A and B are shown apart, each in its own frame.
Chain A
Amino acid sequence: MRCFEVKQILQENFTAAGVELEAEVKTHLDACVKCREYLQELNNMASALIPLDSFELTPEESLQLTNALDAQLIREPAPIPVQDRENRIFPIARILLSAAAVILMVILSTSPTQDISIADTDYEGVIEYSSLDDETMTSIFFDNDDDLLPSLFDQTSAAYLASQLRPGQVDDVFESITDEELAWLEKNFSLEI
């Protein structure tokens, strides 16, 4: 083994966990002062770097991190695995459409499906999740501007609401909405899956 190779091996295996040496390298080191010196340099460097080995969050910081993450995670839909998702494209489209229908009926309160209520908190989640600005929100909720309704519903808020629907609710919605309503939903909520 040549010195160049040995030094390269030593360097590439140099970590805070220590240098692990193969027998061949050890044999070379036993016989070579230059490479032993190089290893010593690495060891000195490792000693110098010890203060950077670990950083710890203070209990306050740790709590701050957990709380901040909890607040963000609560709005996140479950990260369903890709392969599952692929098998569920049709059901998901159905769920999202149902979710759209539910919120639509709640807002319009004119449909036979209005008895399919969603909890206030779920509804707030959709509003909070929507990327709409205040003005548009106001138009929808206070001026009843129906044309803007589809914009309330983006994919993220739909996914959120879909995750809040109770089992069976999807089927309930699909059974009770009219053909016209379904057509309108499909036309206006072109949700990309």
Chain B
Amino acid sequence: MTNERNLIQEAIQGDKKAFTSLVTTYQNRIFGFIMRMTANREIALDLTQDTFLAAYQNLRGFREDSSFSTWLHQIAANKTKNYLKRAKREVPLPENYDTPSEAYRPDNDYDRKEQQKMLLEAIGTLPEKQRSTFNLRYFEQMKFDEIARAQEVSVSAAKTNFSEAMKKLKKILGK
């Protein structure tokens, strides 16, 4: 963590290499979060890039009252929300889903991919706010007050969104 704090401080002073180290550390997590929101690799990659660029530009606004990871996820959630609003795609279609490099994935990964696709479809049926809340809470383990801040809602609204998402997912996954 101390190392991370140093890297952030160096990046704030304009050290791009320090920032690149932070990108390397968090790229898969941010990409994963956006994948679960958009179900589209190409778009997720673009939005991951947007997230890190915005993070750099706003690095001076990073307060250490939340973790860097949480802060990044808040930016990613915003970027994704704006994208979904723009694209009017409340229900994402898992197109373009395959990895560009098939050789990279082991053969037995086929089932996992099929399952992922099915699950992404299920999660994609949730309204954006519930989907985002569920992702941030379940997969990213963010605290409800952090989620509330990220989504500009009350803590109880964040809990309700999570509860609603759970109810729907339980129904879908239980089938």
Contacts and interface: CB of A to CB of B under 8 A. Distances in A.
A59 B104 contact: yes
A14 B139 CA distance: 10
Given A16-B138, A53-B139, A58-B101, A65 B56 contact: no
B69 to A, nearest CB: 13
Interface in B17-61: 19-20, 23-24, 27-28, 31-32, 35-36, 41, 44-45, 48-49, 52-53, 56-61
B91 interface: no
Interface stretch (A78-86, A134-142, A166-174): A78-86
B119 interface: yes
B101 A60 contact: yes
B56 A68 contact: no
Interface residues of B, number: 51
A7 B170 CA distance: 14
A17 B138 CA distance: 8
Interface stretch (A43-51, A99-107, A116-124): A43-51
A130 B15 CA distance: 23
Interface residues of A, number: 41
Contacts of B174: 41, 44
B84 interface: no
B35 to A, nearest CB: 5
Nearest to A56: B28
Interface string A31-69: 000000000010011001101111111111110111011
B49 A15 contact: no
B138 to A, nearest CB: 5
Nearest to A53: B139
Interface in B120-175: 120, 123, 137-139, 141, 144, 159, 162-163, 166, 169-170, 173-174
B19 to A, nearest CB: 7
Contact of B116 (A15, A51, A74): A51
Given A12-B144, A12-B159, A52-B119, 14 more contacts: A11-B166, A44-B174, A45-B173, A51-B119, A52-B120, A56-B28, A58-B101, A60-B104, A61-B99, A65-B48, A77-B14, A78-B12, A79-B14, A79-B58
Shortest Cβ-Cβ A-B pairs, 4 listed: A78-B14, A55-B32, A79-B59, A51-B115
Interface of A: 11-12, 14-17, 41, 44-45, 48-49, 51-62, 64-66, 68-70, 72-74, 76-82, 85, 163
